[in-house]
Amino acid sequence: MSSLRTHNDTWDIATSVGSTAVMVAAARAGETAKPDPLIRDPYAEALVAGVGPGIWDFVRSEEFAAKVVEADAEVAAIFEHMGNYQAVRTHFFDAFFADAVAAGIRQVVILASGLDSRAYRLDWPAGTGVYEIDQPKVLDYKAARMAEHGTLPSAMRHAVAIDLRLDWPAALREAGFDADAPTAWLAEGLLMYLPAEAQDRLFEQITALSAPSSRVAAETVGVRSDERRAETRAKFERIREQFGIAESPDIAELMYNDPDRADVAQWLNGHGWRSSAVTSADEMRRLDRWVLPPEEFEQDAFSSFVTAEKVG
């Protein structure tokens, strides 16, 4: 169980769970700036820049990365791995949406969308509707930043401003969602911030709203030992102190470390879906983005990427 979460907590873009969206966007900005990026997000930099100073400034700084290499090569490898993971994750779910629209799906729902810019940057077929669900302040911030830069969505974007702990299916329907049309759902960077029972309830709600041939993709929750988490936290604390980085939320403490959490692929297979899964470690190796030494590998610590299709 997380020690920083309560059942009715809320946040804006720079606090609590909201700050994780900024760090993910910073990773996309850093990847986009590389000479041969795996993914390209032309809006990530602007989305991060408007938040104000924070650890995300270091995440996307090549100068800082070089200094960390000199100070602690082990921590530098972890930093590089974290950035690579975000690039690989984004690449995987971009491909999921490309496959979904190629199959004729024209309704998309991104759960806890944060600073996800897919409604703007992906090449959506005409008539595609993208529903983004998140906290009101998070959606307001993103819309304002995009408007400041004159950026228009490439799909029919619908902002559904509601906490997923509330009656979001009703809010989704009110926004124009059609439960009789096949839908492509995405739960990326979300499940780790839900307790086990909330994860089950989320997929029950998705299933109830999904017509046959709908698709869903999700990033599962990796589980690291308390000892390894403490070791990693200590390493980052040394770097933070050495370079004068302001203290930021401990991401691990925002997550629910729930041993009773259901296996997503198995749950979906038992509830009318046909699922498949690939471990993030295997996907990172496939794309030549694995940089951690063997001693850093814990199979259960790494997430899997699950995709499924509604069969009945």
Q: Are strands 156-161 and 184-187 parallel, antiparallel or unpaired?
A: unpaired
- Kindly give, in sequence order, each residue whose CB lies less than 8 Å from that of residue 186, ignoring residues fewer than 6 positions away: 93, 96, 97, 108, 109, 110, 111, 216, 217, 218
Dist CA 271 CA 109 (whole Å):
19
- Token pair, residue 33, equals 């700036």
Provide, for the chain, the percentages of residues in helix, strand and coil under a 3-state DSSP scheme, each rounded to the nearest 5.
Answer: 50, 15, 40
Residue appearing with tokens 């990530």: 44
pLDDT, residue 256, reads 72
pLDDT, residue 158, reads 98
Helix (H, G, I), strand (E, B) or coil at 161: strand
- Kindly give, in sequence order, each residue whose CB lies less than 8 Å from that of residue 3, ignoring residues fewer than 6 positions away: 253
Using only C-alpha atoms, what is the Rg of the chain? 19
> Torsion angle, CA of 275/286/62/14, rounded to 10 degrees?
10
Beta strands in the chain (DSSP E): 107-111, 129-134, 156-161, 184-187, 215-219, 273-279, 304-310
Report the side by side order of strands in the sheet with 215-219.
156-161, 129-134, 107-111, 184-187, 215-219, 304-310, 273-279
Matching CATH number, 84-310, of 3.40.50.1240, 3.40.190.10, 3.40.50.2300, 3.40.50.150: 3.40.50.150
C-alpha distance from residue 227 to each of 76, 109, 224, 230, 234 (Å): 20, 37, 8, 5, 11
CB 185 within 8 A of CB 210: yes
CB 23 within 8 A of CB 55: yes
Task: Kindly report the pTM of this predicted structure.
Answer: 0.87
Strand partners, 101: none
Domain ranges of the chain: 84-310
Q: What is the DSSP letter of 44?
A: H
pLDDT, residue 218, reads 98
CA-wise closest residue to 188 among 94, 51, 283: 94
pLDDT, residue 221, reads 83
- Kindly give, in sequence order, each residue whose CB lies less than 8 Å from that of residue 43, ignoring residues fewer than 6 positions away: 117, 120, 121, 146, 149, 151
Dist CA 11 CA 234 (whole Å):
26
Strand partners, 186: 110, 217
The DSSP secondary structure of 14-30, one letter per residue, reads TSHHHHHHHHHHHHHHH
Encode the chain (312 residues) as per-residue pLDDT tens digits.
444 445 565 545 555 555 788 889 999 999 999 999 999 999 999 999 878 766 666 666 677 677 777 777 777 788 888 899 999 999 999 999 999 999 999 999 999 999 999 999 999 999 999 999 999 999 999 999 999 999 999 999 999 999 999 999 999 999 999 999 999 999 999 998 899 999 999 999 999 999 999 999 999 987 666 666 666 667 667 766 766 666 655 565 666 777 789 999 999 999 999 999 999 999 999 999 998 876 565 656 679 999 999 997
